[in-house]
Structure 1
């Protein structure tokens, strides 16, 4: 077996200095509110990688969960965790292929970035022709069909998990470390995540989390991505699409689509309006 160039030692005491010895660290993301520090690394052969190191106990537990998730779920839209670097103080740093693009929303320790400013990634994404937004969401939906098929459910999915390449018109999914096998019961006061995307049951200790929770999250994603503004008063899809979203996001899980597959079938069964590509 050929050892990956980033994994040239059994353990490293300082991830950044190790990466600097085996390649060029061309980007550093230090102020992430996830409790991780991440690096863009270019090796001598030109290959580019993204390395994420957990620096808090909560982040270490999340990366362990994420490693298990990536062993169970594979999809072209989901950026995989392909290697791990052992860190001497405990835990791991994970290695992923570098993907070009911008996260649609970036939460940092210094505060949340604006979603609405015209230069923000989210505002620029929402200004794209409707057909491009629909195509990007369809890739998100298709990835979650793979998540469901593997027996997993979405946890802590939000617009910060969406990495969009504006040049190539490709959506990638990143930072799915809290995804887990389902169904399961909420053990704490609430699950991690953004209130904008979370279902009511995610805030209730002892509540059941299953595929209907993932359906709610995806419905919220469609609602927020296809709106022209944060106030959710400028829906760019059709009334029929909005009706699908509204059923997906009913407060009572029993009133929603039962599975992601059912939601996808309903969403894809709604015809797009004539001329949508030009909007």
Structure 2
């Protein structure tokens, strides 16, 4: 079984209202974005995410490489910035503003990536739920966009219930980590540590400012 040194995580994302706590850790010679659940609702969400990733494949969608009991989703860590680093303290869209200043060609390429990924999602019988700018992890160096934190996507059609679309500000960690991430000093922007207050900039998983996968 994979050992995850959460106590020595280099990034921690615990200011999400979703009930999930995520970590940036190093294990087996690699960096990972580890997403865990702390409530019944967040456990259902992560189980739904595991089912989604088992059914959908696309190079731009960050998917977990390991699904452990709990459930715990272990995503590869990706550098980048979450375009909306949403937490219980508010939203940081500085990465979005930076993205909007890119050459039109780069922006169009990113949008094409989002649309192409959703063709694969549709082909697998899933529909988008809770898609917003916090689901976009952008690597400004590589000019590459990845999708993270698609935990609420569901097979369609389905009946909407009160739990179907949680507050977007309460989904992933500073989404700049793998699942969501961008840098390690204080993460994600995948995917998304030192207890609680470390953040690179939001990925994984995960994480935005720059660093959820989530």
The TM-score with structure 2 as length reference comes to 0.73
State yes or no: 1:30 paired with 2:14: yes
Q: 1:38 to 1:162 in 2, by over 3 A?
A: same
User: Which among 9, 13, 27 is matched to residue 43 of structure 1?
Assistant: 27
Which residue of 1 is the match for residue 63 of structure 2? 80
Say if 2:38 is the partner of 1:63: no
Corresponding position of 2:118: 144
Q: Rate the CA distance shift 1:75–1:145 in 2: closer, same or farther, 3 A.
A: same
Q: Which has the higher helix share?
A: 1
1:158–1:193 Cα contact (<8 Å) kept: no
1:19-70 CA-partner distances (Å, limit 9, x unpaired): 247xx5211111122221111111252x111100111222111101111000
In the alignment, does 2:121 pair up with 1:121?
Answer: no
CA–CA separation in structure 2 for the residues paired with 1:20 and 1:63: 18
Q: How does 1:157-172 map to 2 (within 5 A)?
A: 157-172=131-146
Q: Pairwise mapping of residues 185-196 of structure 1 onto structure 2 (< 5 A)?
A: 185-188=159-162, 191-192=165-166, 194=168
Corresponding residue number in structure 2 for 1:110 = 89
In the superposition, the TM-score normalised over structure 1's length comes to 0.57
**CA-to-aligned-CA distance 1:198-219 (integer Å, 9 cap, x gap):** xxxxxxxxxxxxxxxxxxxxxx
Structure with more contact order per residue of length (Cα contacts < 8 Å, sep ≥ 6): 2
Does structure 2 retain, via aligned residues, the 8 Å contact 1:155–1:192?
no
From the CA coordinates, give the structure whose radius of gyration is larger. 1
Distance of aligned partners of 1:151 and 1:190 in 2 relative to their CA distance in 1, 3 Å threshold: closer
Shift of 1:107: 1.3
Structure 1 residue 52 corresponds to structure 2 residue 52: no
In the alignment of these two chains, the number of paired residues is 169
Partner of 1:96: 75
- Tell me if structure 2 keeps the 8 A contact 1:33–1:107: no
SS in 2 for 1:184: coil
Contact 1:106–1:160 (CA under 8 A) maintained in structure 2: yes
In structure 1, runs of 5+ residues without a counterpart are 7-17, 196-279
> Are the equivalent residues in 1 in contact too, given 2:63–2:75 (CA < 8 A)?
yes
